[in-house]
Amino acid sequence: MNRLFQHLSPALLLALTLAAGNAARAASGPDPDCDPLRAAVLVNALRAETAALPMAGRLAAEAKHGEAFDALRSDAGSVERLAEAVREFARQGCPGLPSKELLRLADESPDLLDDVAQLERAQQSVLDAAEAADTLAAQVPALQAATDQASRALVESGAEAAQVYLATRMLSILERLRSGSSRVIKGGVGAVSAADTLGRDVAMLRQTAEGFVDGSAALGIKAVENATARSQFEALRSRLTTTQQVVDTLLRQSSGLFEVQDAADSLWLSAPAFDSAAVDVLRLLDAALAARAASAAEQAAACPGP
């Protein structure tokens, strides 16, 4: 809004303020009078709706519910309708008005809507990944508690130091699971590597738990002989099987989250340029409005009343 105050006349700013909320009326059909104020109302409304797209896109990219995507679709629909109204006005070729600039501005909006469409196509991936991350975060405390109990049982049974070390090492890997899921949901270039790390970590946890139950020459783990500790590692192995399924979901969705973040970032980068172009068009309409007012004043002066 600061650029408007810097470059538009107080008269047009006041008119735009008074016309706020009337963009739908301004967009209803052609204007035989070629009113520059009507065009300015359309452009300003298009500018406002377009400015809302980056935040709506960011919220959708990080969403845990479908409402964020509904809001994004609504904003995009408003941009599409207003752009078409500006395009229709420009096609009238009104004398003294910046028809080419109006048409060019309207034709720039599809670039923004392409990013929105990419986000919409990824909706299910985003929601599935968010649900999986929430599930994983909810599972980690129970896994940590079960691992801690199993480690205590090992110590109390007089297990070898190497076994106790491997059991306590599982706790630090579990903590990584919690933070790793957050990095996946953020998307971007780190999402794929974070998901791969999650996959390796949960696989290592399962192999370690299985080693305590059945023994593992590859990991150098002897099967636990203490019945209490063995029972707890069996339960932990079962829990980790469920956790593996959750992480597998994140792995499937992580590559798509890169494109999601890319589209959201593109909206942030593109919207300011569109806003600048819209303000430039408003300046031209402001000048056209001033020229009409001056012409009307001259005509009134040339034809004085009785």
Residue-range definition of the domain harbouring residue 102: 2-123+262-300
Contact 257, 125 (CB under 8 A): yes
Task: Tell me how many degrees the CA angle 251-192-65 measures, rounded to the nearest 5.
Answer: 65
Dist. CA 76–CA 72, nearest whole Å: 6
- pTM to 2 decimal places: 0.70
How many domains does the chain divide into?
2
CA nearest neighbour of 171 among 211, 214, 215, 141: 141
Contact 126, 260 (CB under 8 A): yes
Instruction: Look at residues 242, 259, 276 and tell me which one is the last residue of a structural domain.
Output: 259
Structural domain contains residue 115: yes
What per-residue confidence (pLDDT) applies to 83? 94
What per-residue confidence (pLDDT) applies to 37? 85
What per-residue confidence (pLDDT) applies to 225? 84
Q: Is the pLDDT of residue 80 over 90?
A: yes
* 133-169 pLDDT per residue, tens: 888 888 889 888 888 888 888 888 888 888 888 888 8
Dist. CA 219–CA 204, nearest whole Å: 10
Please give the mean pLDDT across all residues of the chain. 82
CATH number, position 243:
1.20.120.230
* 177-199 pLDDT per residue, tens: 878 877 777 766 677 777 788 88
CATH number, position 291:
1.20.120
What per-residue confidence (pLDDT) applies to 5? 45
Cα dihedral 180, 201, 127, 266 sign: positive
CA nearest neighbour of 230 among 211, 217, 212, 216: 212
Dist. CA 276–CA 155, nearest whole Å: 68
Say whether both 41 and 89 belong to one domain.
Answer: yes
* 23-38 pLDDT per residue, tens: 545 555 545 568 888 8
Structural domain contains residue 139: yes
Say whether both 152 and 254 belong to one domain.
Answer: yes
Tokens of 172: 């630090």
Say whether both 115 and 164 belong to one domain.
Answer: no
